[in-house]
Amino acid sequence: MVISRPMRPPRVGDHPVFRCILIAIVLLLGAVLVIAPLAVIGVRAFSMGFDAFARTLAHPDTVHAIGLTVLAALIAVPVNTAFGIAAAWSITKFEFPGRRLLLVIIEIPFSISPVVAGVAYLFVYGLQGLFGQALQSANIPVLFALPGIVLASMFVTAPFVARELIPLMQAQGRDLEEAATSLGASGWRTFLSVTLPNVKWALLYGVILCNARVMGEFGAVSIVSGNVRGQTNTLPLHIELLYNDYNTTGAFAAASVLAVLAVVTLVAKVALEQKGAGRIPSPAPTVPPLEAPQ
């Protein structure tokens, strides 16, 4: 006897023609929005020859901009990594008043324009700001100097590590940490031996995204840095100055550095996703209890 199964209603996109059209649209948009700009950057960067490209990158202002960008990343990324780990640990492993408020605070940089954040720093650390007079009296430069650039970079990149760790640590639960604690492990030993190995790929994933955003940040840094050529210009700001000076070849040559960084970040992102970073693990299947033999 053949048992007839009910026909499953067709899903959206099941038709081969529709799938082909959808894939073609995605590939076309990807080529226009991603591949074409990267190709233009490479072509224009070497349009005057390799010597002109090398001279642009070896120019003192360009070298200073690259060095300042790297220095800001070397300061902001470790601080935001520590903040992300601490925030994720606190939110996922403890219950305390204000836990939901902390989650909202972590998300604030994603909902505020970087330019608005830069203006806010002006009202806090500027001469007419909340701490401006005190900082000036103590001769502590914040705005239009390295500290302001680092603060702005830290603000816009604060959520990256925390957002990667929180969902993963919530899915993993607290059982392993509680078991380690019950066996006499200290807090640091539990973190280093139990928690950190389970989140290492997600942590590295967040660090890579944070570093890429720091090096490519423009809006907030442009407000707090002052755009002083050769002094407070990061690489994105230096590219804008070169373009405004009608030095398009130099601007594209400097932009190629950021383009290479973007490609490296994308490759590293894909490689880490193969390790499971950026995905919430599916819960382990429950095994039904065995029935006792009759």
Q: What is the pLDDT along the chain (294 residues), one digit of tens a residue?
A: 555 555 666 666 666 777 788 888 888 888 888 888 888 888 888 878 888 888 888 888 888 988 899 999 999 999 999 998 888 888 887 787 878 888 888 888 888 888 888 888 888 887 777 787 888 788 888 888 888 899 989 998 988 888 888 888 888 777 777 787 777 777 777 777 777 888 888 888 888 888 888 888 888 888 888 877 878 888 889 888 888 888 888 888 888 888 888 888 878 777 777 766 555 554 444 434 434 444
Looking at 217-270, which runs of residues are DSSP E strands? none
What CATH number is given for 21-274 in this structure?
1.10.3720.10
What DSSP state is assigned to residue 74?
Answer: H
What DSSP state is assigned to residue 229?
Answer: T
Q: What ranges do the domains of the chain cover?
A: 21-274
* pTM for the full predicted model: 0.77
Distance of alpha carbon 75 from alpha carbon 208, whole angstroms = 14
CB under 8 Å to 167, separation ≥6 — which residues? 280
Q: Is 22 in contact with 236 (CB distance < 8 Å)?
A: no
Q: Is 134 in contact with 199 (CB distance < 8 Å)?
A: no
